[in-house]
Structure 1
Amino acid sequence: MSAIRFFHMADLHLDSPFKGLFGLPEHNFKKIRTSTFEAFNTIIDKAIQEKPDFLLIVGDIYDGENRSLQAQRRFQEAMEKLFQHNIPVILSYGNHDHLNGSWTRFALPSNVYELPAETSVVQLNIRGQQVNIYGFSYSERHVKESKIESYPIASDQHVLHIGMLHGSEFSDTTHAVYAPFTKEQLLERHYHYWALGHIHKRQLLHQNPPIVYPGNIQSRHRKEQGIKGFYDVTLSQASIELDFIPTSAVVYNTVEVDCKNMFHANELLKKCEEALSLNRQAYGASVVELHLKNIDEHASSLFEHATVDAWLETIREAEEGIEPMCWVQKLVLHTSSTLYEHTAATKSVANLMEQWDISAWKDILKDLYQHAGGARFIDPLTEQDIKALMHNAQELLAEEIQRT
């Protein structure tokens, strides 16, 4: 029997809102805002050009259960293009775009197989090779129970068996644990390939047979760093070939600049410019956290008379108009003992806290210090305590803004 070839992708999150970005020029924001569509178009164009036997999309095609009109229109148009080239698509819906949501419905063409809430099988015959593809769609947002027992054990090994599952290992708490499984449970099904979704980090859980998370096709925030994409898979009874294909329209990344023995502002700006230029050459359009490392006693003087916000805006101005874009989302200063983070979004709150004296802090914290049960366990408030509180509050605020 001949080998088959398919594309395995998951977590498209089309029309993701990209929260936590502030101060971008309009054209840069538009580039980021449409990046999920651009990444998806890259896949469709490659499929039309290279004509794999089919596509697998393992959950979370849309970012929300309401499935935005724009996202559905673009997805439907892409499926029509694949229909015109006789390329089947087998898809499931995940926790973000579950079947119980409310949306304006589009009719998908006949080349698209939408898996129902009950675990089902799609059978294809590809050049004489029968392929059975098993999977289900989420009936609601929270599928907490294991679904593995609903997948049949493969008995006919003349057939290629592929499992589709949008879920996570019992032990993986990086995402909400939905449709949990263990590797042993998957291996007990005796499938030739497990196409997973839900975890946005690309990873190979098992080599042979492959148990694969392709990750999402486009990063949506700073915690999803690096190049994203999908797997181009060639599978036969005797062999497996996995080829990762990048699709990121915008790459989230961390860029480091060594500030040791730096005395002048122009030195630092030149170093930042060079580092961002190298990042641009390597990754194209990107959103970066710029980390200034090894700030010694010489380099620290550069920040005595100019705020972190002033440095951030100056660096951004130097990058403005250069293509592909390299937007500095955050500037992080590292010294031997302290880590400072700041973005434009935290500026007003940080400035307000800096204006508070010890009396204001005591008034703000009075409920804590006047609590009958807990006050006796708390030491009197000091200037050092206030500095620590300000630092921790700014870090928490910055972290929360990026998370939302």
Structure 2
Amino acid sequence: MTAIRFFHMADLHLDSPFKGLFGLPEQNFKKIRSSTFEAFEKIIHKAIDEKPDFLLIVGDLYDGEHRSLQAQRRFQEAMEVLFQHNIPVILSYGNHDHLNGSWTRFALPSNVYELPAETSVVQLKIRGQVVKIYGFSYSERHIKESMIESYPTANDQHAIHIGMLHGSESSDTTHAVYAPFKKEQLLEKNYHYWALGHIHKRQLLHKEPPIVYPGNIQSRHRNERGVKGFYDVTLSQISADLMFVPTSAVVYSKVEVDCTGVFHANELLEKCGAALADNRQEYGASVVELHLNNIDEQAEALFEHATVEAWLETIREEEEGIEPMCWVQKLMYHRTATPYEPTAATESVINLMEQWDISAWKDILRDLYQHAGGARFVEPLTEQDIEHLKSSAQTLLADEIQRA
């Protein structure tokens, strides 16, 4: 049984602006700003070295519908290199880089198959094995209707069938729900592999046949923590082998420091330095949210004469010049948990917050998100952010009770 090998990637977001980062030394900002390109270059180098049969790119190659000139040029150059190595690329455009945008156009080489707005098939023959790849590109930014019915059911028993779809499960609201589908609808098509895009979190929705989100190739903010990459897939009509390949040039991570028994400032700085060194060893270049845990009354005195902002600046100074970069984006400290008796008033507030949906939270926070000067630094509100706000509010209520 002939097996084929391909790379499955999605959501490259080349030339992402990386909103919400400020105050960085210029060299750190350049590293972060170029990270999507660096992650993409890792994929191209691996393809040249290992020569898969083809590459699949499932939507959102570019970060915006205007497709920056630099991003297009670097993508075009990469496709030319793959052309020289006889590696085909099948790509679709997603909601961010839809076909109705306005951009300066580059001609891509003949090894690149750009899927049109109508669901179409690209047929390849690899070592005698026929491979049929189905998919479409977004004609506009918002495709709210399901597109599954436009995909044909596989009826050629001698071919390998692969579906490409930039969209989300109907029940998944972590991203805007575009081109929604149900897993059962995909399985009904009898394809051997579903290559998905749009959701930036790596997920295996189904094992046999694989229905796969590779996630994006490079994190762009704190809600996309962890190592990002793509899947190296070996596929036949009867088996599939998936290997995740990391590509992150910069990893967003959460670092926790146990501050139990800390009394002096130098002790705290040493603990932070050790934790950041471990993070650097594990991830390389990174953007960190630093959490100081188990701050008791003794340790809390360290924050009475120096603000959190002053501590953050000091920690950044300690890290300055150390490579690879480890930029502490945010510092938070958490007091040692102590039991408290909730009052009717606090319970009433907490119960009220539980009833608010995302629209209510957006209304409550509208002054922040509509502020002309600050809105550009704030990432879109997510369900994860809301859960964090609820938890923080409950902690603040508990603190106030304990202080009363």
TM-score grouping bracket, smaller chain normalisation: 0.7 to 0.9
Could you list the runs of 5+ residues in structure 2 that have no partner in the other structure? 339-363, 381-404
> What is the aligned partner in structure 2 of residue 30 from structure 1?
30
Contact between 2:161 and 2:193, CA under 8 Å: does it hold in 1? yes
When normalised by structure 2's length, the TM-score is 0.85
> What is the aligned partner in structure 1 of residue 229 from structure 2?
229
> What is the aligned partner in structure 2 of residue 319 from structure 1?
319
Q: Does 1:54 align with 2:30?
A: no
Could you list the runs of 5+ residues in structure 1 that have no partner in the other structure? 339-391
Q: Structure 2: how far apart are the matches of 1:401 and 1:333?
A: 22
- SS at structure 2 position matched to 1:318: helix
> What is the aligned partner in structure 2 of residue 74 from structure 1?
74
Q: Which amino acid aligns with 2:274?
A: E
Q: Structure 1: how far apart are the matches of 2:68 and 2:44?
A: 20
> What is the aligned partner in structure 1 of residue 308 from structure 2?
308
- SS at structure 1 position matched to 2:311: helix
- SS at structure 1 position matched to 2:295: coil
Q: Which amino acid aligns with 2:287?
A: V
Contact between 1:233 and 1:242, CA under 8 Å: does it hold in 2? yes
Q: Does 1:220 align with 2:181?
A: no
> What is the aligned partner in structure 1 of residue 148 from structure 2?
148
> What is the aligned partner in structure 1 of residue 255 from structure 2?
255
Q: Which amino acid aligns with 2:290?
A: L
Larger radius of gyration: 1
C-alpha change, 1:157 and 1:399, in structure 2 (3 Å) is farther
Q: How much has 1:261 moved relative to structure 2? A: 1.4
> What is the aligned partner in structure 2 of residue 207 from structure 1?
207
Contact between 1:131 and 1:159, CA under 8 Å: does it hold in 2? yes
Q: Structure 2: how far apart are the matches of 1:182 and 1:400?
A: 35
Q: How much has 1:91 moved relative to structure 2? A: 0.1
Q: Does 1:403 align with 2:362?
A: no
> What is the aligned partner in structure 1 of residue 297 from structure 2?
297
Q: Structure 2: how far apart are the matches of 1:175 and 1:302?
A: 40
> What is the aligned partner in structure 2 of residue 6 from structure 1?
6
Contact between 2:19 and 2:376, CA under 8 Å: does it hold in 1? no
Q: Does 1:159 align with 2:165?
A: no
> What is the aligned partner in structure 2 of residue 95 from structure 1?
95
Q: How much has 1:335 moved relative to structure 2? A: 1.1
Q: How much has 1:402 moved relative to structure 2? A: 3.8
> What is the aligned partner in structure 1 of residue 245 from structure 2?
245
* Count of paired positions: 350
> What is the aligned partner in structure 1 of residue 44 from structure 2?
44
Q: Which amino acid aligns with 2:72?
A: Q
When normalised by structure 1's length, the TM-score is 0.85
- SS at structure 2 position matched to 1:91: strand
Q: How much has 1:86 moved relative to structure 2? A: 0.1
Q: Structure 2: how far apart are the matches of 1:311 and 1:147?
A: 51
- SS at structure 2 position matched to 1:163: strand
- SS at structure 2 position matched to 1:158: coil
Contact between 1:251 and 1:286, CA under 8 Å: does it hold in 2? yes
C-alpha change, 1:400 and 1:268, in structure 2 (3 Å) is farther
Q: Structure 2: how far apart are the matches of 1:307 and 1:107?
A: 54
Q: Structure 2: how far apart are the matches of 1:278 and 1:122?
A: 46
> What is the aligned partner in structure 1 of residue 106 from structure 2?
106
Q: How much has 1:156 moved relative to structure 2? A: 1.4
* Identical positions, percent: 81
Q: For 1:323-342, list aligned pairs within 5 A.
A: 323-336=323-336
Deviations 1:72-129 (A, max 9, x none): 0000000000000000000000000000000000000000000000000000000000
Q: Structure 2: how far apart are the matches of 1:337 and 1:283?
A: 30
Q: Structure 2: how far apart are the matches of 1:239 and 1:54?
A: 18
RMSD: 1.7
> What is the aligned partner in structure 2 of residue 376 from structure 1?
none
Q: Structure 1: how far apart are the matches of 2:377 and 2:54?
A: 40
Contact between 2:294 and 2:337, CA under 8 Å: does it hold in 1? no
- SS at structure 1 position matched to 2:57: strand
Q: Structure 1: how far apart are the matches of 2:182 and 2:159?
A: 24
Q: Structure 2: how far apart are the matches of 1:193 and 1:160?
A: 9
Q: Structure 1: how far apart are the matches of 2:337 and 2:238?
A: 56
Q: Structure 2: how far apart are the matches of 1:112 and 1:203?
A: 27
Q: How much has 1:401 moved relative to structure 2? A: 3.6
Contact between 2:89 and 2:111, CA under 8 Å: does it hold in 1? yes
Q: For 1:177-188, list aligned pairs within 5 A.
A: 177-188=177-188
Deviations 1:164-196 (A, max 9, x none): 000000000000000000000000000000000
Q: Structure 2: how far apart are the matches of 1:10 and 1:34?
A: 18
Contact between 1:221 and 1:402, CA under 8 Å: does it hold in 2? no
Q: For 1:252-291, list aligned pairs within 5 A.
A: 252-291=252-291
Q: How much has 1:337 moved relative to structure 2? A: 5.9
